[in-house]
Amino acid sequence: MISTHLEPVEYTAGEAADITGLTAVQQRNYRRHGLLPKFGRGWARYTAPDLADLLIMNQLSRRGVTPSSAKLAMKPTESGSAAALLTAWALRLPGSVMSDPDLPRRRQKTFQVPKALPRYAVFSGTEPRFVSNLHAALGKDGNAVAIVLDLKALARRLLDLAGPLWLELEGRA
C-alpha cells in the first residue's frame, strides 16, 4: 500500500533571518545564551516550528520584551505553546504543503489539525493565554495591559515569506 507523509522544509540561518527578522548574529547570540537550542556540528537548520519560535521571539522583542523574558513567556503551558499554535495555523493555510508533482491526485488532502484553534496569544503576567475571543480575554473595558499576537496573521506572514513549510512525499506503508 502506498501512503504519503509530510517532510519539513529546512531553512538556513540566513533564510530564517529573512523570514523572521532575527539576524543570523542574533540567532547565534541567543543560542550562546541558551535562549535557542544549540545545533550539533555544522550549520543551523530551521523547520516550521523553529521559525515560529524565532518569529514570536522577534515580535515580543520588538514590543520591548527582553529576549530572556520572551523565551520564558514562550514556554509551553497546559493549553499549548504559541509556536505550536502558530505552526498549526500555518498548516491550515493553503500553500503550506507542497505536493510531489508525481503523486496521483486521487483524494482530497486532509491534515489532523484541531478545528477550533485559539487565534490570539495574550502575553501578560508570567504565562501566555491563548484565546479566540480577544474582547472577553481583555475584559469588558479593554484596558488590560498586555501584548497580543494574532497567531493566524503571523502564520500567514510566515507562509508568505517562507513559502511551503512541508513537502508531501510518497512512501510505502
pTM, two decimal places: 0.83
pLDDT of amino acid 113: 60
Determine the average pLDDT of the residues in 123-148: 76
**Structural contact between residues 123 and 149, judged by C-beta atoms closer than 8 angstroms:** yes
pLDDT of amino acid 14: 93
pLDDT of amino acid 114: 62
**Structural contact between residues 165 and 159, judged by C-beta atoms closer than 8 angstroms:** yes
pLDDT of amino acid 48: 92
pLDDT of amino acid 23: 93
Eight-state DSSP code of residue 101: T
pLDDT of amino acid 165: 92
CA distances from 21 to 60, 74, 159 (A): 12, 18, 14
Q: Which residue has the higher pLDDT, 54 or 4?
A: 54
Determine the average pLDDT of the residues in 130-156: 80
Dist. CA 31–CA 167, nearest whole Å: 27
pLDDT of amino acid 73: 76
Dist. CA 170–CA 13, nearest whole Å: 28
| 113: containing domain | 2-172
CA distances from 78 to 82, 87, 142, 150 (A): 12, 17, 25, 20
CATH code: domain of residue 131: 1.10.1660.10
Which three cell numbers mark 126? Answer: 508570567
pLDDT of amino acid 141: 54
One-letter amino acid at 71 equals: K
Instruction: Express each pLDDT in 74-122 by its tens digit.
Output: 788 777 888 889 999 998 888 888 876 655 554 435 455 666 888 998 8
Which three cell numbers mark 151? Answer: 497567531
pLDDT of amino acid 110: 44
Instruction: Express each pLDDT in 28-66 by its tens digit.
Output: 888 888 888 877 777 888 999 999 999 999 999 899 888
**Structural contact between residues 121 and 130, judged by C-beta atoms closer than 8 angstroms:** yes
pLDDT of amino acid 107: 42
Determine the average pLDDT of the residues in 154-160: 94
Alpha helices in 21-173 (DSSP H): 24-32, 48-62, 67-73, 82-92, 134-138, 151-162
User: Number of folded domains in the chain?
Assistant: 1
At CA 12, angle to CA 83 and CA 148, rounded to 5? Answer: 25
Highest mean pLDDT among 13-17, 37-41, 70-74, 167-171: 13-17
**Structural contact between residues 127 and 77, judged by C-beta atoms closer than 8 angstroms:** yes
